């Protein structure tokens, strides 16, 4: 057995860890006793040689260490991870994420649940376990046992982040798919009394955008008797809520035919289970930026803009802000008088206030009277305990 991997950090990185930041970048590591392998647990000692932290080491990632324990040494084994999973579960139970018509939500949100690089979502009785770092491949059997005992799924689907798939197969012989019994794909689950399918094997994220649940509910409540345009619709989540609330029509716009087919199925699923009144439904397969520039003005009573991340890196930040402004401007153009604009961003590099200000400024520039109805951040099943984890924000404006 090689000696334990031991690190020492530069003062700034050390202070950040002490303040609770879970990431140490490669330039924060001052010295280490040996090179280290992807997925190893490393022990960090402070400048006085006292125990500082434990974290998952990865020499292949610029985030060299993901810290999961600070100040107090612990014995890391299955019991330790089970306790972490129990804490994450208790948080969701305390905020009643599941129950009363909701069987889909996030059990584990990575670093913000002190389980770095691990996301676990529930869709009815299926757990989707998404792994972003090699450490969980090393610990896969005990992780799986712990999840089964603490969260009691009938089925467990393993998903891997794109950059991990090759390494997972080469080094651990692990690939994506159901572990143990095969469940259904898509999985149908409930959200606030509505039915949705999650594409657990191939879909984006873990198969559905669970993070927008509360915003979908808010938008639904405002959609009665309105024509709703759902831009970047994916599987039509916002439209299904709007339809239940009595929207006059719902239109899903997405560049992907696959997404629009799923949106059609989700509406049908709810209609045939009598969870929706009849509604006029349109699908538009188009590039949203182009479509919003050239479509007829003043057509919709509610416009939802929920694009994919426009700033995957810090360098894209100002271009992303221009993108959000262009979308808001197009959204406002197709919005009737007495209309509602909902604009969301999932780019962690774009900060909440600069995003809100961009949308507000664009709205004021239209010359219409603007009233701000609400802004929102993360739902309780998507906790964010450090700045980079805050990615989702949304703003809702009424325009005369
Ligand atoms: N609002 C959705 C999630 C949106 S995810 C929900 O609540 O579930 C982003 C979607 O944008 C994806 O479905 C993707 O296919 C679509 N997309 C990406 N680029 C696009 C573009 N240029 N024009 C239209 N749709 C696009």
Predicted confidence pLDDT, tens digits, the chain (400 residues): 789 999 999 999 999 999 999 999 999 999 999 999 999 999 999 999 999 999 999 999 999 999 999 999 999 999 999 999 999 999 999 999 998 899 999 999 999 999 999 999 999 999 999 999 999 999 999 999 999 999 999 999 999 999 999 999 999 999 999 999 999 999 999 999 999 999 999 999 999 999 999 999 999 999 999 999 999 999 999 999 999 999 999 999 999 999 999 999 999 999 999 999 999 999 999 999 999 999 999 999 999 999 999 999 999 999 999 999 999 999 999 999 999 999 999 999 999 999 999 999 999 999 999 999 999 999 999 999 999 999 999 999 999 9
Cα 306 to ligand 1 centre (Å): 7
Q: Which residues of the chain does CATH 3.40.50.150 include?
A: 209-399
Predicted confidence at residue 1, as pLDDT, reads: 76
Looking at ligand 1, which residue's alpha carbon is closest to its atom 15?
Answer: 256
**Closest residue by CA, ligand 1 atom 1:** 233
Pocket lining: 196 vs ligand 1, CB cutoff 6 Å: no
Cite the residue boundaries of each domain of the chain with CATH code 2.30.130.10: 5-70
Q: How far is Cα of residue 211 from the mean position of the Cα atoms in its chain?
A: 5
CA distance 287 to 60: 35
CATH for the 5-70 domain, from 3.40.50.720, 2.60.40.3670, 3.40.50.300, 2.30.130.10: 2.30.130.10
Q: Is the CB of 256 under 6 A from ligand 1?
A: yes
Domain 209-399, CATH among 3.30.470.20, 3.40.50.150, 3.30.465.10, 3.30.1360.10: 3.40.50.150
Phi and psi at residue 192, to the nearest 5°: 45, 45
Judge if the beta carbon of residue 254 lies within 6 A of ligand 1: yes
Q: What is the layout of strands, in order, in the sheet containing 118-123?
A: 104-109, 118-123, 126-131, 155-160, 177-179
As a whole number of angstroms, the distance between CA 327 and CA 231 comes to 10
Q: Is the dihedral of CA 157, 159, 165, 170 positive or negative?
A: negative
Alpha-carbon distances, residue 194 vs 214, 252, 341 (angstroms): 13, 17, 23
User: How high is the pLDDT of residue 227?
Assistant: 98
Q: Judging by beta carbons within 10 Å of its beta carbon (0-12, 13-18, 19+), is residue 93 exposed, middle or buried?
A: exposed
Residue 202 tokens read as: 């191939």
CA of 249 to the centre of ligand 1 (A): 20
- Of 397, 388, 214, 177, the C-alpha closest to 303 is 397
pTM of the model: 0.97
Pick the atom of ligand 1 nearest to 287's CA: 23
The fold for domain 78-187 equals: Transcription Regulator spoIIAA (3.30.750)
β-sheet bridge partners, residue 393:
345
Which ligand 1 atom sits closest to the C-alpha of 306?
Answer: 1
Q: What's the full length of the chain, in residues?
A: 400
Cα-to-centroid distance, 211 and ligand 1 (Å): 14
Question: What span, in angstroms and rounded, lies between the C-alpha atoms of 76 and 97?
Answer: 29
Q: Show the 3-state SS of the chain.
A: CCCCEEEEECHHHHHHHHCCCCEEEHHHEEEECCCCCCCCEEEEECCCCCEEEEEEECCCCCEEEEEEEECCCCCCCHHHHHHHHHHHHHHHHHCCCCECCECEEEEEEHHHHCCCCEEEEEECCEEEEEECCCHHHHCHHHHHHHHHHHHCCCEEEEEECHHHHHHHHHHHCCCCEEECCCCCCCEEEEECCEEEEECCCCCCCCCCCHHHHHHHHHHHHCCCCCEEEEECCCCCHHHHHHHHCCCCEEEEEECCHHHHHHHHHHHHHHHHCCCCCCCEEEEEECCHHHHHHHCCCCCEEEEEECCCCCCCCHHHHHHHHHHHHHHHHHHHHCEEEEEEEEEEECCCCCCHHHHHHHHHHHHHHCCCCEEEEEEECCCCCCCCCCHHHCCCEEEEEEEC
Instruction: Answer positive or negative: Cα dihedral of 343, 344, 348, 353.
Output: positive
C-alpha distance across the termini of the chain, in Å:
70
Cβ atoms of 393 and 344 within 8 Å: the answer is yes
Is the separation of the CB atoms in 315 and 308 below 8 Å? no
Beta carbon of 388 within 6 Å of any ligand 1 atom: no
Residue 391 Cβ < 6 Å to ligand 1: no
Strands 227-231 and 249-254, by their bridges, are parallel
Residue range(s) occupied by CATH 3.30.750.80 in the chain: 78-187
Which atom of ligand 1 lies at the shortest distance from residue 256's CA? Answer: 15
**Beta carbons of 288 and 255 less than 8 angstroms apart:** yes
Residue 99's pLDDT is what? 87
User: For position 48, what pLDDT does the model report?
Assistant: 92
Question: Which pLDDT value is given to residue 100?
Answer: 86
């Amino acid at each position: 057995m090689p000696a334990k991997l031991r690190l020492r950090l530069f003062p700034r990185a050390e202070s950040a860890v002490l303040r609770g930041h879970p990431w140490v970048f490669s330039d924060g590591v001052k010295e280490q006793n040996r090179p280290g392998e992807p997925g190893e647990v490393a022990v960090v000692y402070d400048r006085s040689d006292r125990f500082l932290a434990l974290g998952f080491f990865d020499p292949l990632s610029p985030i060299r260490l993901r810290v999961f324990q600070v100040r107090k040494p612990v014995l890391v084994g299955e019991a330790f991870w089970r306790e972490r999973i129990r804490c994450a579960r208790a948080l969701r139970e305390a905020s009643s994420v599941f129950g009363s018509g909701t069987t889909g939500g996030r059990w584990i949100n990575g670093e913000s649940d002190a389980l770095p690089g691990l996301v676990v979502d529930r869709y009815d009785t299926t757990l989707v376990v998404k792994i972003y770092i090699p450490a969980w491949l090393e610990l896969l059997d005990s992780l799986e046992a712990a999840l089964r005992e603490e969260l009691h799924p009938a089925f467990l689907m393993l998903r891997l982040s794109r950059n991990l798939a090759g390494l997972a197969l080469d080094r651990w012989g692990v690939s994506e798919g159901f572990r143990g019994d095969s469940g259904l794909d898509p999985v149908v689950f409930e959200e606030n009394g509505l039915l949705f399918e999650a594409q657990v094997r191939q879909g984006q994220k873990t198969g559905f955008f669970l993070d927008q649940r509360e915003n979908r509910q808010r938008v639904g409540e405002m959609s009665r008797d309105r024509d709703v345009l759902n831009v970047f619709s994916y599987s039509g989540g916002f439209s299904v809520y709007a339809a239940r609330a009595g929207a006059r029509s719902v239109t899903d716009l997405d560049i992907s035919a696959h997404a629009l087919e799923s949106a059609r199925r989700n509406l049908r699923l709810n209609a045939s289970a009598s969870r929706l009144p009849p509604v006029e439904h349109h699908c538009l397969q188009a590039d949203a930026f182009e479509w919003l520039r050239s479509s007829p003005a003043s057509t919709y009573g509610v416009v939802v803009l929920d694009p994919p991340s426009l700033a995957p890196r810090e360098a894209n930040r100002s271009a992303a802000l221009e993108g959000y402004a262009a979308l808001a401007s197009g959204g406002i153009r197709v919005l009737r008088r007495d209309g509602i604009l909902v604009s969301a961003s999932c780019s962690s590099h774009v900060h909440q206030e600069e995003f809100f200000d961009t949308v507000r400024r664009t709205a004021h520039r239209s010359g219409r009277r603007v009233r701000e109805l609400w802004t929102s951040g993360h739902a309780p099943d998507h906790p964010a305990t450090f700045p980079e984890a805050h990615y989702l924000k949304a703003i809702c404006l009424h325009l005369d």
